[in-house]
């Protein structure tokens, strides 16, 4: 398929003559040019594959090929998280390994072939374990917090003498576009890097802003990116032009040296140009004039490399053209072979739902159980509250595993808003228990990066409502990594979140929040909710074991209203418990042995339902309370087994009527063939107001009693 930029390049090359300039490293420049050529012809091939009905992705790197200089200047042992136009980088880094086949790899990715060595046919991504490239999808800066977290973790690993998958002098490379530089995720991450560097915390990261001046159709204001990127304190700003390869390489070499040897962040503002539109489907003429489009051809980085090579006499114009055409033949030959292999069945695409989901559904129950056992501390008969039990369990876990880090806002010196992490910093030191700045994206990004460095992060989000500021770090980054890397990269972690409602006289909706729907819709994630100290230790240990052995992203949702509650009924102290429980993944907990009705619930609902059973018992109704414990995924198999002998099930759900956990429970019952009566009581579809008004919209104990009585008395 002929492209205008293709014809323009060949015409211009033929007119280039000797300039008398001198190139210090001619072979390096030739390798750089070859990487650029590979990237450009892969863009052409992507469009050909789509036109032939075999390709699915045409967002290319044309005009951005100057990023090959970054790939060449860094090592395969420097972890890289790349912008989707970093094709030149990928090709240049692959040159460092003689066994690498970058053209074949990218083509397999373009056609969603299972031969794609990174995603296994799940997405077109730049990624490869042997090249140190962590896969990202269509990023809008969401990878930048993880990159900052990884750079931080590399420094922290050295202080703790923790062995990471990366060498001690490794640096992190993170590229993003100029439009993404405005995204709050990117700005927050850059701010976090500056915050650390300001305090002389090691932060070995090279940020690369590939600035082509336009985000799909929206122009970046002239001078804005330079001004915005250069304003971060303690981050060195350097600028380079993609159409000046010699100066570009010199600038990048210096930037890499600064990051590697001084362990400080540098932002490289790489001025590029976007050629052939945003993607193959982009009607560029709808928002740009033909004069502007053609005018950018003169800034083609391939043409800039050709001018230097020919001008210095390293290659002749004929040599450059021959090299260009040879790369076209190589890439198109591989593209045709890729199509032939699909047609013949020699290669394939994912053909079943099970195959697609395999990275998300892989289980290692024996290993999980063994790891959970290894996290147990010395037996104790001390009866503890929920908050105290979580604290003691964290202590046991951190004692058993020196690779565990606990961090968040106020968790260290203060010991958490509710005292849950009190004393951990003193026991394990400031390198393992530390406060972050007040930014949830940074908290989760630190966890994402720390996991890539081989740590087991246990970050805290101070309130459930605050998670919503950063939930895409769980959905788009954490949970998707195993999926898009075919389980070659994982970022197991346990995110502790204080949440749910029923805090008397405090907070309003930012501190009393029952919105968990967003967590229920993330494939592969695990969410556990303790209802008392009795099962909290088992749930937390199992969550950590899932993170370690299965690379799971776990959320440990802690009901704030139950943290320090002692009594089930006045003065009985029933909610103080010893740690004698087990909570295997996918199993429910039981309270009572009544057969008239089963109440299925979780969190605060367990306490309310257990109290309700006393009232119901006085009316001659025997009730068993079933504690879900695991709300994502729901423990469907065990739940159906436990409910098989009940004629009536009442679902008591403290979350909202629409989108709440109860909807999923009812679905499990119906689809699982439960043939008894099903009832449901929930909180209202409302935010949680301040003070006593909260009681008007939250599920109450009286509502549970009334619903239970009605179900039993109406048969």
List residues with catalytic annotation.
Answer: 511
d(CA 431, CA 542): 25
Pick the closest to residue 473 from 499, 508, 442 (CA basis): 442
d(CA 524, CA 585): 13
Residues in the chain: 715
- The secondary structure of residue 220, as a DSSP letter, is P
Query: Tokens at residue 502, please?
Result: 């029923």
Strands 623-627 and 597-601, bridge-based pairing: parallel
d(CA 242, CA 239): 10
Query: Tokens at residue 60, please?
Result: 């290319």
d(CA 89, CA 272): 14
d(CA 639, CA 635): 6
Query: Tokens at residue 582, please?
Result: 């087990």
331: which residues sit within 8 A by CB, 6+ positions away?
A: 38, 41, 42, 44, 45, 103, 107
Alpha-helix runs per DSSP H in 300-352: 301-311, 317-344
d(CA 516, CA 513): 8
Residue 309 contacts residue 249 (beta carbons within 8 Å)? no
Instruction: Write out the DSSP string of 562-573.
Output: GTT---SSTT--
- What are the Cα distances from residue 533, in Å, to 566, 691, 703? 10, 27, 25
Residue 212 contacts residue 178 (beta carbons within 8 Å)? yes
Residue 712 contacts residue 648 (beta carbons within 8 Å)? yes
d(CA 44, CA 331): 9
452: which residues sit within 8 A by CB, 6+ positions away?
A: 79, 134, 146, 149, 150, 153, 165, 489, 491
439: which residues sit within 8 A by CB, 6+ positions away?
A: 188, 191, 192, 470
Residue 148 contacts residue 442 (beta carbons within 8 Å)? yes
d(CA 410, CA 419): 10
Query: Tokens at residue 139, please?
Result: 């990023």
d(CA 508, CA 414): 23
Query: Tokens at residue 485, please?
Result: 């890397």
CA dihedral (154, 145, 463, 454) in degrees, to 10, reads -30
Residue 334 contacts residue 102 (beta carbons within 8 Å)? no
d(CA 688, CA 499): 12
Element (H, E) at 69: helix 68-73
Strands 214-215 and 218-219, bridge-based pairing: antiparallel
CA dihedral (520, 525, 531, 537) in degrees, to 10, reads 180
325: which residues sit within 8 A by CB, 6+ positions away?
A: none
Query: Tokens at residue 710, please?
Result: 């009605």
For the chain, give the longest Cα–Cα distance: 101
């Amino acid at each position: 398929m002929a492209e205008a930029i293709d014809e323009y390049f060949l015409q211009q090359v033929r007119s280039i003559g000797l300039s008398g300039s001198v190139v210090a490293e001619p072979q390096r420049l030739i390798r750089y040019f070859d990487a650029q050529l590979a990237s450009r012809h892969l863009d052409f091939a992507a469009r050909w594959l789509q036109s032939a009905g075999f390709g699915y992705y045409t967002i290319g790197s044309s005009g951005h090929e100057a990023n090959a200089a970054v790939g060449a200047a860094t090592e395969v042992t420097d972890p890289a998280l790349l912008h989707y136009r970093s094709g030149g980088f990928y090709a240049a880094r692959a040159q460092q390994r003689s066994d690498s086949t970058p053209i074949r790899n990218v083509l397999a990715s373009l056609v969603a072939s299972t031969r794609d060595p990174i995603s296994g046919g799940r997405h077109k991504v730049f990624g490869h374990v042997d090249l140190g490239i962590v896969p990202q999808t269509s990023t809008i800066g969401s990878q930048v917090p993880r990159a900052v977290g990884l750079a931080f973790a590399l420094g922290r690993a050295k202080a703790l003498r923790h062995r990471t998958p990366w060498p001690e002098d490794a640096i992190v490379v993170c590229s993003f576009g100029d439009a993404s530089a405005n995204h709050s995720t990117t700005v927050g991450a850059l701010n976090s890097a500056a915050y650390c560097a300001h305090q002389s915390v090691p932060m070995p990261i090279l940020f690369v802003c590939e600035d082509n001046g336009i985000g799909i159709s929206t122009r970046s204001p002239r001078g804005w990116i330079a001004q915005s990127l250069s304003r971060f304190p303690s981050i060195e700003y350097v600028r380079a032009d993609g159409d000046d390869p010699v100066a570009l390489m010199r600038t990048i070499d210096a930037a890499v040296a600064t990051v590697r040897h001084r362990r400080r962040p540098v932002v490289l503002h790489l001025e590029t140009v976007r050629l052939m539109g945003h993607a193959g489907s982009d009607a560029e003429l709808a928002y740009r004039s033909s004069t502007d489009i053609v005018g950018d051809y003169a800034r083609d980085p391939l043409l800039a490399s050709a001018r230097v090579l020919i001008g210095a006499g390293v290659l002749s114009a004929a040599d450059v053209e021959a090299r260009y055409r040879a790369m076209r033949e190589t890439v198109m030959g591989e593209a045709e072979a890729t199509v032939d292999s699909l047609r013949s069945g020699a290669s394939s695409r994912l053909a079943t739902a099970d195959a697609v989901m395999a990275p998300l559904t892989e289980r290692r129950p024996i290993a999980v159980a063994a790891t959970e056992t290894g996290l147990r501390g010395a037996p104790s008969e001390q009866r503890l509250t929920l908050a105290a039990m979580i604290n003691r369990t964290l202590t046991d876990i951190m004692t058993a595993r020196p690779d565990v880090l606990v961090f968040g806002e106020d968790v260290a010196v203060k010991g958490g808003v509710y005292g849950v992490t009190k004393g951990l910093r003193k026991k394990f030191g400031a390198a393992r228990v530390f406060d972050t700045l007040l930014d949830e994206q940074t908290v989760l990004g630190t966890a994402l990066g720390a996991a890539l460095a081989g740590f087991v992060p246990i970050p805290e989000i101070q309130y459930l409502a605050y998670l919503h500021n950063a939930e895409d770090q769980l959905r788009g980054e954490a949970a998707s990594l195993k999926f898009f890397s075919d389980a070659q990269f994982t970022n197991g972690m346990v995110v502790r979140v204080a949440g749910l409602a029923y805090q008397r006289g405090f907070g309003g909706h930012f501190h009393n929040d029952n919105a968990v729907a967003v967590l229920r819709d993330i494939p592969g994630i695990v969410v556990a909710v303790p209802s008392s100290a009795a099962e909290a230790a088992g749930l937390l240990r199992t969550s950590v074991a899932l993170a370690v052995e299965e690379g799971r992203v776990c959320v440990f949702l802690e009901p704030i209203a139950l943290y320090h509650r002692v009594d089930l009924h006045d003065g009985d102290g029933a909610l103080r418990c010893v740690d004698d429980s087990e909570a295997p993944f996918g199993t429910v907990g039981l309270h009572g042995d009544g057969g008239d009705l089963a109440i299925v619930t979780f969190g605060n609902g367990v306490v309310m339902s257990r109290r309700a059973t006393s009232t119901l018992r006085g009316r001659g109704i025997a009730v068993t309370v079933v504690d879900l414990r695991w709300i994502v995924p729901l423990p469907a198999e065990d739940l159906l087994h436990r409910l098989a002998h009940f004629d009536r099930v009442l679902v008591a759900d403290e979350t909202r009527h629409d989108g709440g956990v109860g909807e999923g429970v009812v679905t499990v019952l119906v689809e699982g063939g439960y043939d008894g009566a099903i009832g449901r009581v929930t909180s209202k579809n409302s935010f949680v107001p301040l003070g006593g008004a909260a009681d008007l919209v939250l599920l109450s104990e009286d509502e549970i009693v009334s619903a239970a009585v009605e179900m039993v008395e109406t048969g």
